[in-house]
Structure 1
């Protein structure tokens, strides 16, 4: 058996955490980032780091020996950049990676008017960006079929976690608006549960699957914001009715899609137990960490 080597196209918020998990388990780990400073930090951590700007392919030697390949790089204006530049090189590797994975988005489902949906729902992306995400899924599945390799598509909900990626930090930094739109739901997942899901799939013997990666409790943004304020012992921002004309284009898009995602397949296929089954557990753990950090010596 070859030594396990994980290659992550995109060592960002999630990819770097996965890389460090794999390192701790004795895997060789490599991947890409966009800056020389980040590459130096990754190399110091024992990760083979390569600069990838989406315009020029990596040297073939960068991919040699890869047994597991994960892509978290989103499409650009020309489509899916990793396969556009590396598809033939991946097919020429001997042997090719035995496992392929793509971090996609739940945005491929489009607006479901608040209905509960699972992976059997036919995708209906509303934006060009999400249409390109769906096309990227199809491209990676196509490569997996050509190579006869397990291919996993992770449709990821909104990711939250430490390092400024949570409502507690947003509340303390100020400028957060509490918009109230009755009947609107959002789906989310703690970054640690996302990494656990990918790690479980990396070791799964099956042929791959399309998986919704989200927690058990879709919830309005207003509810999450108020719970965060309660944990911090502060008053939440004043409620504002949702008025689309008063919002930025990004905020209007954010509220234009409404769905509640089921994660039964995630649990059944991977045997995964979520550490943070809802925002309450996730924010509670983050708040506890803040208290420890802020406590006097």
Structure 2
């Protein structure tokens, strides 16, 4: 809804629609959730989108609208498909570990992808200048991990207890949020080749452990 409102405002803007005016450049922050569950497969941007949550479906709809508006108006809009964001502050896994929340048992676990917030900010700036209009980019680091392994790694680095493992059937009764449960239903490995080749990205934190070690806490 917010994306539609913004598009409506931009379309009505006399400044942006006037002849001879500077071309609008922008980046739409979408989600890798537009691919849905891919059973752990490697997923490039050409993979069929199959959003399986209302949240991801809204993002996919917004992608189409921004791409259409870009073609119609000549706007240079890049589409970034972003997975789990983490950093040393608000998005650190530390708080979740301290609460002792469980992760899936190994046989039920899913592959997740991540990007450090500082790397994401730099990629957004690069995309403003270098993204091909209407083109989508997977934005992630080089360390696709099973979700449980991600939290185990964080626990080891922080000196905390590793989270308990539960079967998928028990996860809903384990105090997990509906959003976390939705993440536990989807598994994929994002291919970031296009991001590196076309946007010229050099990751400061190519692996999760490097980003987690930047946490001063």
Check whether TM > 0.5: yes
Higher relative contact order (CA 8 A, sep 6+): 2
Q: What is the match of residue 275 of structure 1?
A: 204
Answering whether residue 11 of structure 2 is matched by residue 87 of structure 1, we say: yes
TM-score normalised to structure 2 length: 0.86
State the partner residue of 1:265.
194
From 72, 80, 103, the equivalent of 1:154 is 80
Q: Is this contact kept in 1: 2:110–2:185, CA < 8 A?
A: no
Name the larger-Rg structure.
1
Unaligned runs of 5+ in 2: none
Distance 1:180 1:121 in 2: 28
CA change 1:175–1:93 in 2 (3 A) is: farther
TM-score (structure 1 length as normaliser): 0.65
Give the RMSD, CA atoms, in angstroms.
2.2
For 1:196, the equivalent position in structure 2 comes to 122
Partners of 1:219 and 1:180 lie apart in 2 by 14
Deviation at 1:96, TM superposition (A): 4.8
**Residue 111 of structure 1, CA deviation:** 1.0
Offset, 1:281? 1.0
Does residue 105 of structure 2 align to residue 176 of structure 1?
no
| Maintained 8 Å contact 2:78/2:131 | no
Q: Which runs of 5+ in 1 are unaligned?
A: 1-74, 291-297
Q: 195, 209, 212: which one pairs with 2:135?
A: 209
Decide whether the 8 Å contact of 1:159 with 1:190 is kept in 2: yes
Matched positions, count: 211
Matched, 1:251 2:180: yes
Partners of 1:198 and 1:237 in 2: CA distance: 33
